[in-house]
Amino acid sequence: MSGAEAFVPTPLLLSDSARKRISALMAEENNTALKLRVYVTGGGCSGFQYGFDFAESVAEDDTLIEFGDATLVVDPLSYQYLVGSTVDYEEGLAGARFRIQNPNATTTCGCGASFMV
């Protein structure tokens, strides 16, 4: 007889480079209350697109995920599409940006800003 297996979704992860960038932005703004809001909206060339914003306030139903001095904020609708993803920050010839590495995405666009599940 086999027992039931529990499944606990992996929360969002934050790369070291993203954590350092969030901390640097908090220092630049002299505001330790800043949090990185990560969200998903409809649109983009693959169906959904990622969005990022800095926020001080959070809604009652938002999820807060803390990584030392850096905190991610995710609304309940977006969270379901982002479970298990890693928020990263990269600087290169195309500029600097936060980006999502999403294991749930079945298709992504060339720039990685939109996806389909």
pLDDT digits (tens, 9 = 90+) for 94-106: 789 999 998 887 7
Say if residue 11 is exposed, middle or buried (CB neighbours under 10 Å; 0-12, 13-18, 19+).
middle
Tell me the per-residue pLDDT of 1-40, one tens digit each, with 9 for 90 and over.
Answer: 455 565 555 688 999 999 999 999 999 999 999 999 999 9
Per-residue model confidence (pLDDT) at position 92? 85
Of 72, 88, 8, the C-alpha closest to 39 is 72
CATH architecture designation of domain 11-99: Sandwich (2.60)
The whole model's pTM is what? Answer: 0.80
Q: Give the domain ranges of the chain.
A: 11-99
Beta bridge partners of 72: 36, 65
Binding residues: 45, 109, 111
Binding residues for iron-sulfur cluster: 45, 109, 111
